[in-house]
Every structure is written in structure tokens, then in C-alpha cells.
Amino acid sequence: MKLNKLASSIALGFITLASSLVAAEGTNGEGFYIGAFGEYYWADWDEVESSNTIDLGESLGGGVEFGYRFTQDWSARIEYALHSFNIEDEDSHKKIEYYGGALLYHFGDNGLYGVAGLKHMNSYRSVNMGNLGLGMRHYLTDNFAVSGEVNWYEGLNETHTDISLKLGISYFFGQDGKSYVPTKKVEPVTVSQVAEPVKPNDLDKDGVYDVNDQCANTPVEHAVDVKGCTIYEEKEVSVRLLVNFNNDKSDVNSQYLSDIKDVADFLMSYDQSTVKLEGHTSAQGNAAYNQKLSEQRAKAVGEVLVSQYQIDDSRISSVGYGETRLINKANTDTAHGQNRRVVAAISTVKRLPVKR
């Protein structure tokens, strides 16, 4: 009685699940098949009979199955098998039957599929099992196919793990299982119904169609990426300043105003940049006096940037090094003239568009 209830439960469960998937994905009413298989079953059951210590080992058996492929991806089957298990340490066998059902998921049209099912086996006592497997099906004709499977079994009310290898052949009714396609009504197409192909637009002429262009109206001379946006490259830009002074003077000679303007233009073009003016003297005279004179020279150049070119004084810093950083240590008028100076160097990274 219990076996009948279990069989009914398994069948009802698979029918319910199959009906749900059919309702969700649709079917054309075809896909039934029957099959026969041989199976090598490896069991490791110890003390399967309470009144006597009996261990069961491997078996070679066979069975039949009945299935239905109800969508491109899913099919279900019920199966029955009869086995003759070796009784270990005895020259005898035990005939055992099992039955159950399984769902199959087909991975595309390459013949590979996965298996998940429930089985009930009658041995010395009733055993319920769950199984997972992997199989491969190959079609000999439109209706005949051969298949191979490996399955892993785990006891639900017994602690045991089994493995089986199956080889089978199946016959499909109505259509071949490998080319399952739901039937659709195809309306006839007349010449007047065939639309002319529409050429996609590229209004900014950058080579990327408007439907994919995420940066409209890019300049024609700019190189663009696959989204139609300008490609940029980073380039370092810089400016240098050298202002020389007369002996013991901090007045800025007018001949250097154009060079100072270049620094002002750079600061206005790159509003995040700043400038540090470094004042120097020759080694003539007192070192303390030279220190103050170098600071005055640096500040004098800074005042030109502020007063004549309207550069914010917060972007200008100055420092004096006196006679500590001579660029020419000779004791000549030429060397002294080279050392009386204010220098500055500014650099930044500029983002420039790549040209076509």
C-alpha cells in the first residue's frame, strides 16, 4: 500500500511540474517517446537485512522508460528497471526492482542534458532515493536516438550513495526530439509587405550611427570611440621664466616683461596652476644683505604679475636663496650677471583631443 502511495506521489509530482512548465513556455502537443536501457549499477549496501548480515554489491540490469519533451529545454520521464545484485561473499544474487521519475534539462541542441529525479527501490526493505545525473543524446534518425548517462544516487531514508551508468535507445513519436520547435502559423508574405531597409543616420559624420552615438555633434576632426565620444590624450605643458638683474638692484628690467607675460598667460589658461618665484644673487657683498636682496627680486617679479596682468596674488609665492645657489662660481662680471636672477618653472597636464 505504501509503495502505491509513493508511486502515485512521484507520478503526480512530475505531471504537475511538467504542466506548469508547459503552461509557461508552450507546446505543440508532440514530443512523446519510449525507450529501453541497460544499466550498470554500483551499490555499497551493508547489512541490508536486519535478521542476517547481507551486503549487496554491483549489478547489471535493464529497464524501460516513457517520456515527453514538452519544451525546447525541458522533458520528463518515468522509468522502471530490474536488477540482479551480487550478494557479497555468496555465490548468489538478489533480484531488485526500482521505479521513479525524473526531469531532464537540455543544454541547447548539442545533445547534453542534466537529470534530477526520485526513485523507489524494493530490496530486502523499501528504499527511497534522489538522483542527479548528466547525459548525452545522439540522434541516429529523426525519430531514433541513443543516449548515455551517469547518475549519482543518495538514499533519503537510508545512508548510502550509489552510482550507475546507463546506455539506452529511444523512439520519438510525431517529431524528433532534437529539433523541437513549437508550431507557429506562418502568414504568407507578399511583395508589397516587404519594407525597404532603412539606412541608419550618422548626423555628426563621426562613423558611429546615431542609434549608438552617446556623444552627439563631436567635431569631425576628432577621433572617437565606439560610443561616438572624443578620445583624449594627456600631454604635459610647461613654461619657464628667467629674469636677470643689475648689480645691487631689484627693479625688473622692461626687456623681461614679455617673458613675464608668458607666465601670466599660462596661469590664466590653467586656472588651477600656481607659480613659485625663486630669487638669487651673486656672491659679491654681505651674505645677509644678499639674502634680503634675493627676496626683494622675487617679490618684484610677483608684483608685475599682479599689477600688470591681474594674476591673483594667492597663486604666487616667492622665496629668496641669496648667494647659496650660484649657477656660475667664477669671479667674473659675466658670472656675477648670470647669478643675479629670478627663475620659475610651471608645468601641468593638459587633456587634448586625438585627431583623426
> Which of 111, 145, 179 delimits the end of a domain?
179
The 10s digit of each residue's pLDDT in 184-210 is: 555 665 655 556 777 788 888 888 888
What average pLDDT score do residues 15-21 get?
Answer: 51
What average pLDDT score do residues 47-68 get?
Answer: 74
- Per the domain annotation, does 190 fall within a domain? no
- Per the domain annotation, does 219 fall within a domain? no
- Per the domain annotation, does 195 fall within a domain? no
Whether residue 237 sits in one domain with residue 175: no
Whether residue 6 sits in one domain with residue 94: yes
- Per the domain annotation, does 160 fall within a domain? yes
Query: How far is 292 from 298, CA to CA, in rounded Å?
Result: 10
What average pLDDT score do residues 272-299 get?
Answer: 94
Identify which of 275, 276, 272 has the alpha carbon closest to the alpha carbon of residue 349.
272
- Per the domain annotation, does 114 fall within a domain? yes
Query: How far is 77 from 106, CA to CA, in rounded Å?
Result: 13
Whether residue 255 sits in one domain with residue 169: no
Query: How far is 235 from 220, CA to CA, in rounded Å?
Result: 21
State which residues form the domain around 120. Answer: 2-179
Whether residue 269 sits in one domain with residue 150: no
Whether residue 257 sits in one domain with residue 113: no
Whether residue 121 sits in one domain with residue 260: no
Strands 316-320 and 56-69: unpaired
Alpha carbon separation from 183 to 28, 29, 105, 109, 341 (Å, rounded): 6, 9, 21, 18, 92
Mean pLDDT of the chain: 82
Whether residue 135 sits in one domain with residue 242: no
Of the chain, the percentage scoring pLDDT greater than 70 comes to: 80
The pLDDT value recorded for residue 27 is 41
What average pLDDT score do residues 132-156 get?
Answer: 88
What average pLDDT score do residues 280-303 get?
Answer: 94
CATH code for position 309: 3.30.1330.60
- Per the domain annotation, does 146 fall within a domain? yes
CATH code for position 148: 2.40.160.20
Whether residue 154 sits in one domain with residue 271: no
- Per the domain annotation, does 222 fall within a domain? no
Number of domains present in the structure of the chain: 2
Whether residue 143 sits in one domain with residue 38: yes
Whether residue 73 sits in one domain with residue 157: yes
Whether residue 142 sits in one domain with residue 261: no
Q: Cβ of 351: how many Cβ atoms within 10 Å?
A: 8
pLDDT band, very low/low/confident/very high, at 339 (cuts 50, 70, 90)? very high
**Is the predicted pLDDT of residue 279 greater than 70, yes or no?**
yes
Q: Structure pTM?
A: 0.43
H helical segments located in the chain: 2-25, 257-269, 287-309, 333-339
- 216 vs 180, which has greater pLDDT? 216
Whether residue 148 sits in one domain with residue 247: no
What average pLDDT score do residues 293-312 get?
Answer: 95
- Per the domain annotation, does 51 fall within a domain? yes
C-alpha cell at 201: 543616420
The pLDDT value recorded for residue 186 is 58
